[in-house]
Amino acid sequence: MTVTVDKPPRTHGTDEVLGVEGLVQHFIGRRSWTDRLTRTPEHVVKAVDGVDLTLATGETLGLVGESGCGKSTLSRCIMGLYQPNAGQVRYAGEPVRGLPTRAQRRTVQMVFQDPYSSLNPRMTVGQTLGELLRYHRIVPRNQVAARSHELMDLVGLPHDALRRTPRQFSGGQRQRIGIARALALQPRVLIADEPVSALDVSVQATIINLLTDLRESLGLSMVFVSHNIAVVRQVSDRIAVMYRGRIVETGPTEQIFNDPRHPYTQLLLASVPRMLSSTTDGHPIDATESLGTADPLAVVDGEPDADESPYSAHAIEGEHGCRYRPRCPVAMPACVDEPGLLPIAHDPTRAAACWHVDDDRKDEPR
């Protein structure tokens, strides 16, 4: 028994609130002087390696991918916390040059992953919010307290929470405070980097519901980063699948779930543990019977060594070809050329970075 809430599909404007074009963020490993003497080449981690994204008003984009594929790096580049090596970030159509200006900061705000380290342990919640409200002159000084109360109401915390320091709250409550801090600046876009990964399942649900409600009531656009595909499906209108620094598939949530085009997306969807359906109930389970996870595809062996560059979760200097090739079950000779995001013939809203993009479509009339 599951509850499906029938809502009309939300309509979004087509105007872009956030745009990312050709974004590249490389990290160069430290070389000791012995490395320099022996001419050991620099170890370059291509954490984000050419990403294009757009986010329309009111839209929620889910960003999924394995650990280390560059999701956090991308979010931080968007927030202007890193200076990307190349590419451009646009807030509301206006390019961000260098650091975002004070006004631009107010357009895009972020909710962080770790509710335990993302709040300053030595400031009360009221101080944290008050500082932002004052510095950004969101409300006149004499209304800062009233506005803080409103923010507490918005995220469902009692007013006296303002007088406490973060350590006096549980993980879920802290994440609410983190959301209130982001909302204090009245942003149009919220970047949520794994906002529920550090939380217990039941607390997770309250935060997901809260974000969904806020999105509706405030008309926020959101980039929702997660490695949990079920959570992403729950909140997103559109999904971007990231693999080793690049987007390998994007499209509307339902279409991607129904018919993933990239082999990595297929693996990802097949690997998600699923609740055993109730149809098997009462069925006696033999000790020798396999209960193993559903799909044999999920057990493809191609799993990396951390020290072997072509197999690591991020791309590093000096490799070529499709970045999924080492693990790909359907790789072919053509894959030594890296495919860009190729449009999917029958659906202009979708694209996938695989030469097989249009092969054996499920929905193709046979």
Ligand X SMILES: Nc1ncnc2c1ncn2[C@@H]1O[C@H](COP(=O)(O)OP(=O)(O)OP(=O)(O)O)[C@@H](O)[C@H]1O
Q: Which residues contact 214 (CB under 8 A, 6 or more apart)?
A: 154, 155, 179, 183, 220
Instruction: Provide the phi-psi class of 232: left if phi over 0, else alpha when psi is between -120 and 50, else beta.
Output: alpha
- The entry of ligand SF4, other proteins, ligand X, none near residue 196 (CB within 5 to 8 angstroms by kind) is none
Determine how many CB atoms are found less than 10 A away from the CB of residue 163.
11
285's contact among ligand SF4, ligand X, other proteins, none, with CB below 5 to 8 A by partner kind, is other proteins
Among 314, 323, 350, 356, binds ligand X (CB under 6 A): 314
Q: How far is the CB of 324 from ligand SF4 (least distance, A)?
A: 4
Q: Which residue from 17, 45, 214, 353 is in contact with ligand X, where contact means CB under 6 A?
A: 45
User: Is 247 near ligand X (CB under 6 A)?
Assistant: no
User: Is the CB of residue 153 less than 8 Å from the CB of residue 211?
Assistant: no
Q: Which two tokens stand for residue 320?
A: 């070529």
Query: Are the C-beta atoms of 189 and 222 separated by less than 8 Å?
Result: yes
How near is the Cβ of 41 to other proteins at its closest, in Å? 19
Which of 146/332 has CB closer to ligand SF4? Answer: 332
Binding-site member from 25, 72, 148, 221 for Mg ion (CB under 5 A): 72
User: What does DSSP say about strands 238-243 and 60-64: parallel, antiparallel, or unpaired?
Assistant: parallel
Write the interaction track for ligand SF4 spanning residues 262-291; mark x where CB under 6 A is met and - where it is not.
xx----------------------------
Radius of gyration of the chain (CA): 22
CA torsion angle 139 140 141 142 (round to 10): -110
Task: Tell me which residues in 117-176 interact with ligand X (CB under 6 A).
Answer: none
Shortest Å distance, C-beta 334 to ligand SF4: 7
Instruction: Give bridge partners of residue 345 from the DSSP assignment.
Output: none
**93 or 219: whose CB is closer to other proteins?**
219
C-alpha–C-alpha distance, residues 47 and 65, integer Å = 13
Report in angstroms how near the CB of residue 27 gets to ligand X at its nearest: 3
Nearer to other proteins, 123 or 358 (CB): 123
Q: Which residues bind ligand SF4 (CB under 6 A)?
A: 262-263, 322, 324-325, 328, 330-331, 335, 339, 354-356
